[in-house]
Structure 1
Amino acid sequence: MVYDVVKKNQHLKAAVRNTYQKIFDILPDKKNYSKNPIVAKEGYFFGFHDISPFSHDDTKLLGNQLTIPFRMNTAEDVLNVGYFEHLDGQVGDYIKVGQTYSWNYHKGCRLQWVGKERLIYNALLEDNKLGAKLFNIETKQETDIPFPIDHISHDGVYASTFNYGRLERYMPGYGYAGITQVDHYISEKMPEQTGLFVGNLETGQKEMLISLMELTKVGELAEGFEECFHYVTHSLFSSDDRYISFLHRWVDEFDTFNRHSRLVSYDRQEKKCYVAPTNDMVSHYVWNDQNQIVAFCRIGDTDCHVLFKEPTLQDYEIIAYPRLNSDGHQSFITSSSFVTDTYPDRSRMANLYKVDATTNEVEHLASLKSFKQFQSQTLKHWCCDFHPRMNRKGDIVCFDSVHTGHRALCIMKID
């Protein structure tokens, strides 16, 4: 009830949350719960929920290794990049393959697999420009990609991309600290020269699919969009690589915390955009292998998890509401089931759930403490969300957590 009153004012919502959490801090801590034992590798993390860190055969687990103490990172702080050997829930040695200055606590450096033997991540290139590194773990061959990546197509040829400098300017903490990608139009509200791009990893070339100016002409936008600064983020290829979905967001120059957001699907074959009816709010989403999307968004005036049944985003159903009534980061287990998490509740406990989208059944998998020191009060924050991610087989979930008192990369078996 309180959330429904304050949800459209992010500053008020944060103030209310901080107040009631401080009150409940007086009470004894709740005990951690997990359905099965958790393996935690302290000092490591992965990042976002929309890509799996597991290799194609689940024998390797990608991870980022922190090199700094507990604080917000700067442009001078390096992150080690590599992977763990992994076998049926047992995590072996960490193998470092590189390092990067292009990272944040939310999405890491967008480290991900490209096919069976290669991995890719964002990094500064020799000319000090933001790009990506493509590394073959078998041949040890490294290739520079002349543009930063967001998501790699399933055929391993293409990458979605956008301007990270603009993202950092208008969504602080999701770009890269002190590292700017050249954007001569960053002071323009909705320029024609930048937007959503797709790059070719083999040729190093990229092309713009749709500009920010063109996006403002697709569908209806909330009143006052002309006075706001627009950007693109959270892009993903569909399972068949035909569509690229992304979030189109816009903010007031002096209040980037209160943002407008909508989910868009771009048809690469028809060169056409589709917009989900999410009433000015969508936060997190993923595709399944049936070209469907589950997202936490607003339908009418209800914030909920929604399954969009086809890529045009017009046929949908609400999932497990009101059992699930808070924001979360989803990852599909099968085409009809997924895991999702919650932000820390009044007792600073974050929860992990398994959801059946067919029956609307919800199973509680874990409830873990998120200590107060991991919740910063600024927009550029180091908070640690679970960001759950499934392995390829669908029986192990990987997530980031601070329940041990340290940021850690964790895995847990599920039934």
Structure 2
Amino acid sequence: MTSRSNFPIRSMGQDGNHYFFGYYNKSNWNSAGNRLLANQVPWRDAYLTPDLVANVGYFDLENDGQFKVIGQTSTWNWQMGCQLQWLGNQGQTKAIYNIRTNDVDSRYPYFGSEIVDVQSGERRTLPLPVYVVASNGQWALSVDYRRLYITHETIGYPCDRFKPDLENCPSDDGIMHMDLATGGFRLAVSYADLARFHPRESMRKAIHWVSHIEINPSDTRVLFLHRWTERVKDETCFLHRLITMNPDGSDLRLLECSDHPLPQLADDFDPAQVGTFDYEKSEWQISHPLWRDDKQIIVWGPHNGEIHYHLYDDREYGPVSVVGRDILIENGHMTFSPVNPRWLLSDTYPDSTTHERVLFLFDMETGKRHDLSSFYADPSLSKENRCDLHPRWRADGLAVCIDSVHEHDRDMYVIDVSDLVSR
């Protein structure tokens, strides 16, 4: 159950199904605030296999919150869903999401994406799955989710029909750039390119991948995490770098690197002894980066021997600012209000004793943290099937949406924060 709820909260799913959206990095509201994207499944939790189908759709907030299905997909995970997102920043009648195809000859066999006009029902298939779409709705960036399933199962897609024999650091794969009008695509930056960029000895025998790819508001720069490891089954062995580039892969910039010794690589180390959230609370973790504006990036990670919420400037290598020192002391999923960057929205991972997660707003002007509510997280859920809050803003900055299982069902909740942010 919810404890110390201080703001009006509304549960979206009331029909016996389970609902979730996924990651924190994109809003599931359209710009008008009257449609709320979601994935609908019949299970609270399930081990993912290629035959599990989710309905894709939206809550019609002008029609008693009725859920309207716009498609189906078997290409999803509990953390990121199917990368469902609105297209463009005007009107937003079209949504895009990842699908499973029968195309064995595609660049990433059996995976693609689909654009659906939610008003006309018109749909179109694209040859690559998407990771993130530019705000203008014209292009997207893509990765091989089969690689992610091997390196970081939580955010990958299983594919029993095609078992890839992945190179550790290929020159023909990495981040792909796809034109959404034509479906044409090209390689923006390869894993071999990344390994040659400020190389580290620890990269030499490791498998490489990228995650947390984000495009700045004006669609001119891209950030991502470059990760590598020799032990994919143990996340505490992941090594991290925060990098930015132009959309075509040029002008790479290294903002942070957390390469460090790994005693876990010893033959007698037991990964089973690592707790579900130990990785998220590691002092070496670089995670959840997001653009504050066209230049600034907020991220949880280490810098100069201390781990904090840090604010980086993509255009300069000089000073990195700590956000909320002694107040924001643990990893979370953070985003700034789309209308007032004074307000930072974030959450915590479950407390190891109470299993409660706290949703909060941090005031960048006063340095004060305002706890919105606390939500119970069922400790029986696994790393892959867990339900993080992943808070997301409405376009007007007056409400937020979360995923949660605190009332047993996996559901989405809308929380009104207008009283606080309008003061």
Tell me if TM exceeds 0.5: yes
CA distance in 2, matches of 1:151, 1:314: 28
Alpha-carbon distance between aligned partners in 2 of 1:91 and 1:398, rounded to the nearest angstrom: 17
Which residue, out of 251, 264, 276, partners 1:272? 251
Distance 2:160 2:183 in 1: 21
Q: Which letter maps to 1:339?
A: L
Gaps of 5+ in 1: 1-29
State the 1:217 CA deviation.
Answer: 1.8
| CA distance in 2 between partners of 1:91 and 1:39 (Å) | 12
Q: Is the 8 A contact 1:399 1:410 kept in 2?
A: yes
Q: Aligned residue for 1:341?
A: 347
Amino acid paired to 1:343: Y
- Does residue 352 of the first structure (1) align with residue 359 of the second (2)? yes
Q: Which residue of 2 aligns with 1:292?
A: 296
Find 1:64's aligned residue among 27, 39, 44: 39
Any idea what SS the aligned residue of 1:216 has?
helix
| 1:120 equivalent in alignment to 2:96 | yes
Give CA deviations for 1:358-410 in whole Å, capped at 9, x if unaligned. Answer: 43221111111112223x2xx5x211110000010001010101111111111
Identity value in percent: 27
Q: Does the CA contact (< 8 Å) of 2:2 and 2:373 recur in 1?
A: no
Q: CA 1:341/1:230 → structure 2, altered by over 3 Å: closer, same or farther?
A: same
Displacement of 1:150: 0.6
Contact 2:115 2:125 in 1 (8 A): yes
Work out whether residues 99 and 112 of structure 2, in 8 Å CA contact, stay in contact via their aligned partners in 1. yes
Structure 1 distance, partners of 2:160, 2:135, is 28
Is 1:102 aligned with 2:75? Answer: yes
Using the alignment, how far apart are the partners of 1:151 and 1:268 within structure 2? 12
* Secondary structure of the structure 1 residue equivalent to 2:361: strand
Q: Deviations over 1:302-322 (max 9, x none)?
A: 221111233556542010022
Instruction: Choose from 382, 385, 396 the match for 2:385.
Output: 382
Separation (CA, whole Å) in 2 of partners of 1:358 and 1:259: 35
Letter of the 2:312 counterpart: F
Matches within 5 A, 1:205-216: 205-216=184-195
Alignment-derived partner of residue 39 in structure 1: 10
Give the match's secondary structure for 2:154. coil
1:73-94 deviations in Å (ceiling 9; x for gaps):
221110100001125xx96100
1:156 aligns with 2:146: no
Give the distance between the partners of 2:141 and 2:69, measured in 1 at CA. 25
For residues 93 and 311 of structure 1, the distance between their equivalents in structure 2, rounded to whole angstroms, comes to 45
> For structure 1, which segment, 142-151 or 290-299, has the greater mean C-alpha deviation from structure 2 after superposition?
290-299
Q: Which amino acid aligns with 2:5?
A: S
Question: Does the 8 Å CA contact 2:169/2:191 hold for their aligned counterparts?
Answer: yes
Using the TM superposition, give the Cα deviation of residue 275 of structure 1 relative to its aligned residue in structure 2, in angstroms: 1.3
Match of 2:121 in 1: 140
* Alignment-derived partner of residue 154 in structure 2: 173
Structure 1 residue 158: deviation in Å? 0.5
Counterpart for residue 306 of structure 1: 310
Cα 1:208/1:383, change in 2 over 3 Å: same
Any idea what the Cα deviations from partners look like across 1:285-312, whole Å, max 9, x if unmatched? 2113343211111112322111123355
Superposed displacement of residue 165, structure 1: 0.8
Alignment check: 8 A CA contact 2:310 2:322 kept: yes
Structure 1 position 35, deviation (Å): 1.7
Contact 2:244–2:314 at 8 Å: present in 1 too?
no
CA spacing shift, 1:270–1:67, aligned 2, 3 Å: closer
By percentage of residues, which structure has more strand? 1
CA shift for structure 1 position 181: 7.2
**C-alpha separation in 1, matches of 2:52 and 2:124:** 23
> What SS does the aligned partner of 2:252 have?
strand
C-alpha contact 1:262 1:282 (8 A) present in aligned 2:
yes
- State TM-score, norm by structure 1: 0.86
Q: Distance in 1 between matches of 2:39 and 2:51?
A: 16
Comparing 396-405 and 66-75, the one that deviates more: 66-75
Determine which of 43, 48, 52 is the counterpart of 1:73. Answer: 48
Q: Aligned partners of 1:317 and 1:45: how far apart in 2?
A: 34
Mark the CA change 1:220 to 1:361 in structure 2 (over 3 Å): closer, same or farther.
farther
Secondary structure, counterpart of 1:165 in structure 2 = helix
Contact 1:242 1:269 in 2 (8 A): no
Offset from partner CA, 1:213-262 (integer Å, 9 cap, x none): 110122253x4221110011111111110111111000114544220111
1:130–1:181 CA contact under 8 A, matched in 2: no
SS of aligned partner of 2:103: coil
1:282 to 286, 293, 313: 286
Does the 8 Å contact 1:277/1:314 carry over to 2?
no
Find the aligned partners of 2:141 and 2:318 in 1 and give their Cα distance: 23
Identify the residue that residue 369 of structure 1 maps to in structure 2: 376
Question: Which 4+ runs in 1 deviate beyond 6 A?
Answer: none
Q: Given that residues 311 and 323 in structure 2 are in contact (C-alpha distance below 8 angstroms), is that contact kept between their aligned partners in structure 1?
A: yes
Residues 12, 65 of structure 2: 8 Å contact kept: no
Q: Tell me the TM-score normalized by structure 2.
A: 0.84
Note if contact 2:288-2:300 (Cα within 8 Å) is conserved in structure 1: yes
2:323 to 316, 319, 326: 319
Alignment partners' CA distance in 2, 1:295 and 1:254:
23
Moved more, 358-367 or 225-234: 358-367
Q: Which runs of 5+ in 2 are unaligned?
A: 105-109, 260-284
Determine helix, strand or coil for the equivalent of 2:192. helix
